[in-house]
A and B are shown apart, each in its own frame.
Chain A
Amino acid sequence: MNDQPEATSVFDTYGAALADRLGGTAIVEHDTIRIYVERDAWVETVRRARDEEGLTFFSWLAGIDWSKDVAVGDAVEEPDGLNERFEVMCRLSSIENADAAQFIAVVPKDDPVIDSITALFGGAEWHERETHDMFGIDFAGNPNLSPIYLPEGFIGHPLLKSYPLLAREVKPWPGDVDVEDMPEEEA
């Protein structure tokens, strides 16, 4: 719970109450409610959030790759203590008020499977296909996990941290000079 504002906001109370009712751990940062749930309880939690909490609007579903092996971009702050894992997130919101929450399940890298929520939200099918393309996470129960963005026969999962950006491999990006330290701007 880093960088959490000291004063308790409506988001903190709502997030904690929501996690309490649905079973999970809430982290509220910058008005964004994240609720970590068990992988086995993934579909059930999403269903209860929809049916009991009024979070009926399916916003998006995506994955994150927490990895020490970073081919491009910045590494995590403390790579040594990092627990290598995937996270699958699904954001649901209300269509009557500003209520919204992100549900997150941790998916181990040696068994990248999670149940599909397509039976609850038809719109999740494409999002799950995209996540399958980009991270190689399987969604058990998704009727059609064929590639959505990648061409047939594409090898690899581009959004994995270990996946190199091929253009950069061939020629380093000249834009790197732009981000070198510059003198502090005067007021």
Chain B
Amino acid sequence: MTTDYGALMHRSEVAVSVELQTQDMTLNIGPQHPSTHGVLRLVANVDGERISGVEPVIGYMHRGYEKLAEVRTYAQMTALVNRIDWVSGFASEVPFIIAVEKLTGIEAPERAQWIRLILTEMFRISSHIVFTSSYPLELGATTPLFHALRERERVLELIEGMTGGRFHPNFNRVGGIKPAAGGGKTQKQVSMDIPAGWLEETKAVMERVLGATDDSDTLVTGNELIKARTVGVGCIPGDKAIEYGLSGPNLRASGVPFDLRKHEFHLPYDQVDFDVIAGQNGDCYDRYWVRLQEIREAAKIVLQAIDKIPPGPLRSKAPRVLKVPKGQVYVRGENPKGEFGYFVISEGGQKPYRLKIRSTSFSNLSILPWVLKGALVPDLVAIMGSLDFVLGDVDR
């Protein structure tokens, strides 16, 4: 049987000649989808290739940390708060423990504060590497993942060497940090300090991280395919970012050079020299680029901190049973993803009366309906991935 090709209309002609009446379609994405970094469900209304509206459905991972905090002592909570944003566990421990230190008036020794700073920056490097390696993967490039994760593994090994944990260090104590692992009673004084050779090894790894960032620059940053997928896609203007409470690299990519490390000196950030990286257009490319440059700045901070770290004890004296005086305090810190803060209300007991957790990704994700409106379906994963959220941090 032969087909009469002359009678068939070419596809392009159909599109031109007929005013297509398309029907809106509801597209359900998730809750389990690799690009959602956890369990996020999106109910998208699509008109052809355009997204006309999207409703994120969250709460699949809601663990009720704020309620749990009310039945746990402050020491027990440290083990939980680093599980909120599991990619940057240590960084979310620090503001909580500083809040408790402020309430009790116990201050951490200087050496402990510098180690907190070093570890926070190492978690920033680790968190940003997860982004800069997995984001190209979401766009279809596999190689950067292996390149970058190799360096992250070295950073995690160092973190493990110091804290004993790779993801959930639980290393902060009220009045300082936990002494490094190991050692009996006779060894106590020796093992109370950080492991021998740790600082030198960290220095070497930071140099490697700087080299790997250069690799990423040549491999990804200038890549035309990556640029085609990300430049001008998912633009968030600065004023919108502020209105929705976006913080961290997402805010800075929109051209707002605000970094809490330059304003809140709970850790000695005033004694190190670093630049605040800001983008211009607030598109996916800028959000990628800002994070990649921040890896460099973080490595620079660690290198400076290693030179400046003073000798001394790691922990001040604090009572074993911690009764926190009545008071209310909010402490925020620059988590790798943005402003992370704890509002602690103490009524004088061993447990907080109320703990409000300001988690970064919750606010960062709240702009999703706005930014996805009018975007193309193929750009959905690119835009969503560029916001770098962790669902544990969204749901708490």
Contact = CB atoms under 8 A, between A and B. Distances in A.
A97 B264 CA distance: 10
A179 B103 contact: no
B293 interface: no
Contact of A76 (B72, B327, B353): B353
B308 interface: no
B303 to A, nearest CB: 26
B351 A73 contact: yes
Contact of A165 (B71, B339, B362): B71
Contact of A97 (B263, B327, B358): B263
A181 B347 contact: no
Contacts of B72: 175
B319 A184 contact: yes
A76 B56 CA distance: 37
Interface stretch (A16-24, A36-44, A108-116, A122-130): A122-130
B37 interface: no
A150 B59 contact: yes
A185 B349 contact: no
A72 B66 CA distance: 12
A57 B325 CA distance: 31
Contacts of A97: 263
A148 interface: yes
Contact of A3 (B58, B76, B325, B345): B325
Given A73-B353, A165-B71, A179-B350, A98 B263 contact: yes
Interface residues of A, number: 54
Contacts of A29: 327-329
Secondary structure at the A interface, as helix, strand, loop or mixed, is: loop
Contacts of A123: 243-246, 363, 366-367
Interface in A138-172: 147-151, 158-159, 163, 165, 168
B150 interface: no
A59 B364 CA distance: 11
A173 B321 contact: no
A162 to B, nearest CB: 12
Contacts of A91: 330, 343, 358
- Among B328, B332, B349, which residue has the most Cβ atoms of chain A within 10 A? B328
B370 interface: yes
Interface of B: 58-59, 62, 64, 66-68, 70-73, 76, 102-103, 240, 242-247, 251, 256, 258, 263-264, 317, 319-321, 325-330, 332, 339, 341, 343, 345, 347-351, 353-354, 356, 358, 362-363, 366-367, 370, 395
Interface of A: 2-3, 29-32, 34, 56-60, 62, 64-65, 72-77, 89, 91, 95-98, 102, 121-123, 125-126, 134, 147-151, 158-159, 163, 165, 168, 173, 175, 178-179, 181-185, 187
